[in-house]
Structure 1
Amino acid sequence: MAADVLSEVLSAVRLTGSVFFDVTTAPPWVAEAPPSAQIADAIKPGAQHAIEYHVITRGSCWISIVDGAPFEPVQLQEGDIAVIPHGEPHVVSSAPRMRAEPDLASHRRPPDESDLPFKLRTGGGGATDAHLMCGFFTCDVRPFNPLLDALPRFMRIGRGTSAATDALLEHFLHLASIDNADKRAGAQSVLNKLSELLFIEAIRTYMDQLSSANTGWLSGLRDPLVGRALALLHARPARAWTLDELAGNCGASRSALVGRFTQLMGYPPIHYLTRWRMQLAARRLTERGAKVAAVAQEVGYDSEAAFSRAFKKFSGQSPSEWRS
C-alpha cells in the first residue's frame, strides 16, 4: 500500500526526470550549481521546483552543499547517486572545499530534446579522472507536496543498496556509456525514466532507514495505522470520510487514529484529506478543458462555491486564477 500511495503522490506532483549534462573531467575541476529556484523554469518551463542529481559513472569526486547549515563534503565513488532534494546550491569537484561561479545559462533546456544531455569537458588538460551524468527532477510544490518536506537535504545511494537499485543502476550506466552516435532511438527517454526509477528507489531506501523516532509523511506511510489511513484516503479522496468511518476501516478507535496520525504527520486525517484534494484539483485545473464545477465534484465537493472557497483559502488563489 505504501508503494501505491507514493506512486500516486509522485504522479500528482508531476515528477519528471531528465538527464541534462554528460560531464567528463580532468583535475583540478569544480562545478557549482545555483539554487534550483533560479533555474527551474529554464530547465522545464512552468516547473515549480527542481531537484538536482548526479550519477558517478566513473572515478570519484566530492560534493558539498554551500548554503545554510554546515555540511561536510562527501566523497562520491563510481556507482553512487547523489540527490539534492531541496534544490540548495552545491559544489561538485575533484577535491573538497573548492568553489566556482555558477553558470545559469547552461541550464536552459534546448528546443530539441534530442540535444540532451549537453556534453561538457571541464578541468585541466590531463587525463580524465571522473565521468558524471547530471540531471534534474522537476515537480510541483504547490499547493501540497507531502513528499518534498519529508526528504533530507542530501540523499546518497550506490551499489549494494538493493537488488532493484543495482539492476536500475547497471542499465543506466550502460546507456550512459554509449556514445550518442551509437544510441538507439529513444535512448534519452529511457535514461530519463531510469533516473526517475532510481530516485524512487532512493526514497524507498531512505524510508526503510527511518527510525521509530522520526516523524513526517514518509514515517506516516510506513506506520501500520497511519499508513492504512493514508491508503484509504488516497484510494477514495472524493468520499465524504468521517473520522469514525476512517478509524473503523483502519481497525482502530477514533482517538487512537487521530492521536497517532497527528503525532507523525503534524495534523489530523481530515486536514490531510483536504490538502490532498487541493493538490489533485490543482493538477486537474491545469488540464485543457477542465471545468471548475467538474473538478469540484471529482475531489469531493457538491458545491462549486464551497470548493472555490476551500481552494482559495488553501492556495491563496481562486480556481480560475490558478488555472490561468
Structure 2
Amino acid sequence: MNQDLLSDVLRSVRLRGALYFHVNGTGAWAAEAPPSREIAAAVMPGSEHVIEFHAVISGSGWGSVVGGEPVRLDAGDVILFPHGNPHVISSAPGMRAPANPEGYFARVDEPRPFQLHLDAREIRLGKLHEDPPGTVLVCGFLGCDLRPFNPLIASLPQLMHLRSGSGQDWALQCMRQAATEASCPRPGGNAMLERLSEMLFIDAVRHYLRTLPDESSGWLAGLRDRHVGHALALMHAKPAEPWNVAELGRRVGLSRSAFHERFADMIGQTPMQYLTQWRMQAGAALLRDTGATVLSVAQDVGYESEASFSRAFKRSMGVPPASWRRQARAEPESGRRPALPDGDRI
C-alpha cells in the first residue's frame, strides 16, 4: 500500500528524466553545476523543479553540495541532488570550477546526451574513446512539478549517495547501458535513456526509504508508519470522501487526539491540511490530463460545488482552475532562457 502511495505521487507530479552528459574526467578535473532553477528551462523545459544525478561507471571522484562536506564516489556509486542545489563533482575534495548557466542554453538545439571531456586544462565536447581512460560518469536530470503539492521532494535530503553494493547493482548495469546508448545512438535510444533515469531515481528513493532511522519524520517516514501510512492511503485512494480527523483516527485504530498529534508530528501538517493539498494536486492532474469539466473535477476531489473548488484552487495556485488548465496545456518553452525583469540576474 505504501509503495503505491509513492507511485501515486510520482505519477501525479509528472516525473520525467533525461540523460544529458556522458563524461570522462582525466587527471585533475572538476565540474560545477549551478542551481537547477537557473538551467531548468534549458535542460527540462516545462518542469517546475529539476533534480540532477551522476552515476560513476568507472574510476572514482568526489561530490558535494557547494559549501558542503564532500563524499567519495567509487565505481557503481550514484549521487543525486533532489533539491537542485549547486554542486561540484571532481577528482579530489575541495575543488571548484566555473558554473556557467549560459552554456546549457547555448546547446539546447544540439543532440543529447553530450559527450564531455574534463581535465585540468579545459572542458570540451567530443568522442570519449579518443581520450585515455579516466573516471567515466553518466549525468542526467529529472523534472517534476512542485505545485500544487509535491510532498516527496521536501522529505528528501540535499544529497543522496547510493554506494555500490547497496542493492543498486541493477542501477549500475542500467547506467552502463545508458553510456553505451550515449556513445552509439540508436533508434529509440532517447526514450530508453529517459526511462532509465526515472527508474534510477525511483529506486534511489525506495532505498532511502528503507534506510530511514526509526525516529525519522517527514512524508516518507509517514509512509512507513502503520497508522499515518494507513491514513495517507485512505486520503489518496478516496480524496472525495468527507474525511475528518475523528473518522480517520477510527479507521487507523487511534483516538482523535492521538491520531492528530501523531500525524502532525510526523508529516509536519495536520491531516486536514494534507487532505486539502492532496485534493488540489489530484484536481490539477484531472484538469491537465482529462477533458472533465471543472464541476466534475471538483466533485471527484471532494467539493460540493464548482465555486468552492475554484476558490480553494485559486488560493493554492493563484489562478482559477480554467485559467490554470489553459496554461498547463500550453506547449512548454523549448529551452529558451526566460525573460527577467530589469535588474534581475541569473
Q: Hey, what's the Cα distance between the residues in 1 that align with 2:182 and 2:319?
A: 47
State whether structure 2 residue 174 is matched by structure 1 residue 177.
no
Whichever residue aligns with residue 177 of structure 1, its letter is T
Whichever residue aligns with residue 88 of structure 1, its letter is N
Q: Hey, what's the Cα distance between the residues in 1 that align with 2:257 and 2:302?
A: 24
Contact kept, 8 Å, 1:19 with 1:192, in 2: the verdict is yes
Whichever residue aligns with residue 269 of structure 2, its letter is Y
Q: Hey, what's the Cα distance between the residues in 1 that align with 2:182 and 2:214?
A: 46
Question: What is the match of residue 113 of structure 2?
Answer: 117
> Which runs of structure 1 show a deviation greater than 4 angstroms over 4 or more consecutive aligned residues?
108-112
Q: Hey, what's the Cα distance between the residues in 2 that align with 1:171 and 1:263?
A: 38
Whichever residue aligns with residue 72 of structure 2, its letter is Q
Q: 1:119 aligns to what SS in structure 2?
A: strand
Q: 1:39 aligns to what SS in structure 2?
A: helix
Question: What is the match of residue 223 of structure 1?
Answer: 225
Question: What is the match of residue 127 of structure 2?
Answer: none
Output one character per residue of 1:229-270: Cα deviation in whole Å (capped at 9) or x when no partner: 111111111222233332222233222221211110122212
State whether structure 2 residue 94 is matched by structure 1 residue 97.
yes
Q: Hey, what's the Cα distance between the residues in 2 that align with 1:71 and 1:321?
A: 41
Output one character per residue of 1:12-56: Cα deviation in whole Å (capped at 9) or x when no partner: 111111111111121221111000111112212221110000011
Question: What is the match of residue 54 of structure 1?
Answer: 54
Q: Hey, what's the Cα distance between the residues in 2 that align with 1:8 and 1:170?
A: 27
Output one character per residue of 1:117-174: Cα deviation in whole Å (capped at 9) or x when no partner: 1111121577332111001110111121101110001001132212xx2223213313
Output one character per residue of 1:167-204: Cα deviation in whole Å (capped at 9) or x when no partner: 232133134235643x5432332222122112112112
Moved more, 13-22 or 184-193: 184-193
Moved more, 243-252 or 219-228: 243-252
**TM-score (normalised: structure 1):** 0.91
Question: What is the match of residue 39 of structure 1?
Answer: 39
Q: 1:32 aligns to what SS in structure 2?
A: strand
Contact kept, 8 Å, 1:281 with 1:296, in 2: the verdict is yes
Q: What's the CA shift for 1:111? A: 5.0
Gap regions ≥5 residues in structure 1: none
Question: What is the match of residue 5 of structure 2?
Answer: 5
Contact kept, 8 Å, 2:22 with 2:182, in 1: the verdict is no
The equivalences for 1:1-324 within 5 A come to: 1-66=1-66, 70-108=67-105, 110=108, 115-124=111-120, 127-162=132-167, 165-177=168-180, 180-181=183-184, 183-287=185-289, 289-323=291-325, 324=327
Moved more, 130-139 or 186-195: 186-195
Q: Hey, what's the Cα distance between the residues in 2 that align with 1:2 and 1:38?
A: 34
Q: Hey, what's the Cα distance between the residues in 2 that align with 1:179 and 1:187?
A: 8
Q: What's the CA shift for 1:321? A: 3.6
Whichever residue aligns with residue 115 of structure 2, its letter is K
Whichever residue aligns with residue 144 of structure 2, its letter is C
Moved more, 283-292 or 98-107: 283-292
Q: 1:310 aligns to what SS in structure 2?
A: helix
Output one character per residue of 1:268-307: Cα deviation in whole Å (capped at 9) or x when no partner: 2122111011112223333474532222122121201000
Count how many residue pairs are aligned between Structure 1 and Structure 2.
316
Q: Hey, what's the Cα distance between the residues in 2 that align with 1:284 and 1:85?
A: 26
Moved more, 122-131 or 20-29: 122-131
Contact kept, 8 Å, 2:36 with 2:84, in 1: the verdict is yes
Whichever residue aligns with residue 170 of structure 1, its letter is Q
Q: Hey, what's the Cα distance between the residues in 1 that align with 2:197 and 2:23?
A: 16
Identity of aligned residues (%): 47
Q: Hey, what's the Cα distance between the residues in 2 that align with 1:73 and 1:239?
A: 47
Contact kept, 8 Å, 2:44 with 2:142, in 1: the verdict is no
Contact kept, 8 Å, 2:12 with 2:285, in 1: the verdict is yes
Whichever residue aligns with residue 132 of structure 2, its letter is A
Q: Hey, what's the Cα distance between the residues in 2 that align with 1:12 and 1:37?
A: 21
Question: What is the match of residue 337 of structure 2?
Answer: none
Whichever residue aligns with residue 4 of structure 1, its letter is D
Moved more, 283-292 or 77-86: 283-292
Q: Hey, what's the Cα distance between the residues in 1 that align with 2:57 and 2:293?
A: 47
Q: What's the CA shift for 1:316? A: 2.8
Q: What's the CA shift for 1:226? A: 0.2
Q: What's the CA shift for 1:318? A: 2.2
